[in-house]
A and B are shown apart, each in its own frame.
Chain A
Amino acid sequence: MSRRWIYVALTAALATAASIWAVPRLDEPGWFAYVGQGGAGDGPPLPSLSPDLFLYPVSAQVVLLAVGVGLLVQIYSTAYLGHHPRYRSYALIIILFLVGMIAVVGTTNLWVLLVGWEVMGLCSYLLIGHEWQTAEARAGAAKAFLVTRVADLGLLLAILVIGETYGTYDIVGAQIASSQDGVASSTAIGLLVLVAVVGKSAQFPLQTWLPDAMPGPTPITALIHAATMVAAGVYLAARLFPFYADSTVVLTAMAVVAGITMLMGALFALVQTDLKRALAWSTVSQLAFMFAAIAAGDPEAGTDHLISHGVFKALLFLGCGCLMHAVGSSALAAMGGLRRSMPATFWTMSIGFAALAGVIPTVGFFTKDSVLHAIEQSAGEDGGLATGTTYVLLGVALVTSFVTAAYATRLWLRAFFGPVPDGRQEHHGHEAPRAMIGPLVVLAVATFALSIGQPFHLGIGVVGTVIAAGGIAVVVWSWRGGSTLEWTTRPLTAELGLDRPFTSWAPAFARGVSRTVVDLDRDGVDVYPRAGAGVAGLTSRALELVQTRNVQRYATVIAVGVLVLVVAAVIWT
């Protein structure tokens, strides 16, 4: 038992150090303002990994979010996973993961950022695959790693293009250069960044890895797939926003991606029969909200929602872990009626669901409000999105709000109310240990605490509230009406078959091509040396046939040879 706390202590130390570093920065002025040293040279230097640590207020918030959730997850895990034989590697990888996150957020050096980015990807891979005995965990881990890594190539190229364009690999330096010499290559940079964040944040069309990553231990899901790693995509998009802010193409593409993803994710979440998977789709949908804000030209709203979402989604996932701990499954069918047996979990998670649905006064409401406001505001502005696009985006966002409220309510109802399922003994639904409840409470408090000082936009706020209330009401009404809320619309439960290219087409293609290549390598490419050897062997045999010891044949060879040479010589001459 005590050995487990070593890792908690390590994490706490890391969190403390990061906090000491980050907290004073929260009050600095400016949002990624151009401060610090740097300058454009003739060409980009070779990459280096000098840490170049520097925090802006937003980065400081993200760092605090990451280490905070990380520490809570670490504490939570002592109870949740403490008896696992591989707890040690698990806890260490979490710490490594946090270091990677801090590197991404806390540096101005793009290479350090990339290293941290990929270290997070690797840790995510290892943690999803923590239960590597099971086929789902293996498949999910492989898929997550592959998809994100392919997308990361976009970031790699984006960094190269930034370096080429501005002559430095320092973000601040590049910003200074862009302010002096003007922004260039913005479309290229933006699209490449978009590829990277679409992969990392599981946006359409690369969304499918995130739900499949759910075989990972639930605390990890809370940490990686809610609070930090997927959020890093949003963070990066916001961080590099100045480099592509003037490219309508990029912003429109981002808006389209965000619009599709948010609605799709919410709809998928609505029909899930598995709580954890539903929360995963919810994450996808919420991330799309943040991208919508960025696409609308207000990355600050996006990052704000990132922080708030990080908190309440972590709360939800950890709560989900408590439920799983209690009933041994994450299927909604196994839950139900847990309100009484798990009161602490119930209340904290209720707060989480409220924040997800956007109920005042949770932080979820305020940040969602800011996002909607940002979208609304950007309509009609010069540059950025076209007005039509903006309104479509706004419409989609509102519809999504409605669906979000609906599925949040549905999940809440199905998990905590209703009849106890037949198979479950009542005593199984016991409350989780304190080490697990504690983090939930902290996060629940934070869900309210963070709303302090959040702006409120009257018009859109009222509209949003009404829509959310509508969503809640519809579900509650239908529940009252006796519905089991088992909505199994076929195309939606099948997730529109969007997964198929990743799970069957791509592997089948790779397998087919690789089989062909292996065969070709053996029977095709290798033909020329083998043919050469064969020809040499045959010629050798033919030469032996000539060596018959028959003098006359030799004389004939000589005579014919002379004749050939003479004829050739005469022709040449």
Chain B
Amino acid sequence: MPLLYPLVLASALFGIGLYGVLARRNAVMMLLGVELMLNAVNLNLVAFDAWFADVVHSGQVLTLFTITLAAAEIGLGLAIILALFRALRTVDVDEVGR
């Protein structure tokens, strides 16, 4: 498989994720956008790893770490959103910013 396909897909994912972060008003949806961006990175890493046939598989190793990090971020993010909701009774970022 040519390297191009996964890269295009990754770029698209990253872009969509970024759009989600910038455009969605709901905090949870923004988190999802971030997830998409991180997964684009993962896709990139795995694709490059496969393409290089990297012996030490550093790409895949980093992918594993990224997945973990993503989980941690989501955990923290959701906790914050929960606290926000408790404090402000909303998860709409426009409301939060006011």
Q: B residues within 8 A CB of A504?
A: none
**B28 in the interface, Cβ–Cβ < 8 Å?**
no
B21 A555 Cβ-Cβ under 8 A = yes
A552 B93 Cβ-Cβ under 8 A = yes
A556 B94 Cβ-Cβ under 8 A = no
Q: For window 542-573 of chain A, which residues contact chain B by CB distance below 8 Å?
A: 548-553, 555-556, 559
Range, interface on chain A: under 10
Q: A residues within 8 A CB of B97?
A: 548-553
Closest to A554 in B: B97
Q: A residues within 8 A CB of B22?
A: 552, 555-556, 559
Closest to B27 in A: A551
From B18, B23, B96, contact of A551 by CB (8 A) = B96
Q: For window 55-98 of chain B, which residues contact chain A by CB distance below 8 Å?
A: 93-94, 96-98
Q: A residues within 8 A CB of B94?
A: 550, 552
A548 to B96, CA, bound (A): 11
Closest to B98 in A: A549
A559 to B98, CA, bound (A): 22
Closest to B18 in A: A559
Q: A residues within 8 A CB of B93?
A: 550-552
Range, interface on chain B: 10 to 19
The smallest C-beta distance from A563 to any residue of chain B, in angstroms, reads: 10
A553 to B98, CA, bound (A): 12
User: What mask results when residues 257 to 289 of chain A are scored 1 for a CB within 8 Å of chain B, else 0?
Assistant: 000000000000000000000000000000000
Closest to B33 in A: A555
Q: B residues within 8 A CB of A548?
A: 97
A550 to B93, CA, bound (A): 7
Q: B residues within 8 A CB of A555?
A: 21-22
A552 to B93, CA, bound (A): 7
A552 to B24, CA, bound (A): 9
A114 to B25, CA, bound (A): 87
User: What mask results when residues 514 to 555 of chain A are scored 1 for a CB within 8 Å of chain B, else 0?
Assistant: 000000000000000000000000000000000011111101
Q: A residues within 8 A CB of B25?
A: 552
Closest to B96 in A: A551
A549 to B22, CA, bound (A): 14
Closest to B23 in A: A552
The smallest C-beta distance from A245 to any residue of chain B, in angstroms, reads: 93
The smallest C-beta distance from A309 to any residue of chain B, in angstroms, reads: 96
A549 to B93, CA, bound (A): 10
Q: B residues within 8 A CB of A549?
A: 96-98
A555 to B27, CA, bound (A): 13
The smallest C-beta distance from B79 to any residue of chain A, in angstroms, reads: 16
Closest to A562 in B: B18
Q: For window 21-55 of chain B, which residues contact chain A by CB distance below 8 Å?
A: 21-23, 25, 30
A550 to B27, CA, bound (A): 12
The smallest C-beta distance from A553 to any residue of chain B, in angstroms, reads: 8
A548 to B93, CA, bound (A): 12
A553 to B22, CA, bound (A): 8
A550 to B22, CA, bound (A): 11
Q: A residues within 8 A CB of B30?
A: 551-552
The smallest C-beta distance from B77 to any residue of chain A, in angstroms, reads: 12
Q: B residues within 8 A CB of A550?
A: 93-94, 97
Q: B residues within 8 A CB of A552?
A: 21-23, 25, 30, 93-94, 97
A78 to B30, CA, bound (A): 105
The smallest C-beta distance from A566 to any residue of chain B, in angstroms, reads: 13
The smallest C-beta distance from B98 to any residue of chain A, in angstroms, reads: 8
The smallest C-beta distance from A560 to any residue of chain B, in angstroms, reads: 10
Q: A residues within 8 A CB of B18?
A: 559
A555 to B21, CA, bound (A): 8
The smallest C-beta distance from A545 to any residue of chain B, in angstroms, reads: 13
A51 to B28, CA, bound (A): 97
Closest to B24 in A: A552
The smallest C-beta distance from A469 to any residue of chain B, in angstroms, reads: 111
A400 to B23, CA, bound (A): 102
The smallest C-beta distance from B12 to any residue of chain A, in angstroms, reads: 16
A553 to B93, CA, bound (A): 10
Closest to B19 in A: A559
Interface-central residue, B22, B94, B96, B98, by most chain A CB under 10 Å: B22
Interface-central residue, A550, A555, A559, by most chain B CB under 10 Å: A555
The smallest C-beta distance from A546 to any residue of chain B, in angstroms, reads: 12
Q: Knowing that A549-B97, A551-B96, A551-B97 are A-B contacts, what are 5 other residue pairs whose CB atoms are under 8 Å apart, sorted by A's residue number?
A: A549-B98, A550-B94, A550-B97, A552-B93, A552-B97
Rank and list the top 8 A-B pairs by shortest CB-CB distance, nearest first: A550-B97, A549-B97, A551-B93, A555-B21, A556-B22, A552-B93, A555-B22, A552-B22
Chain A residues with CB under 8 Å of chain B are: 548-553, 555-556, 559
Jot down 11 A-B pairs with beta carbons below 8 A, ordered by A.
A549-B97, A549-B98, A550-B97, A551-B30, A551-B96, A551-B97, A552-B21, A552-B22, A552-B25, A552-B93, A559-B18
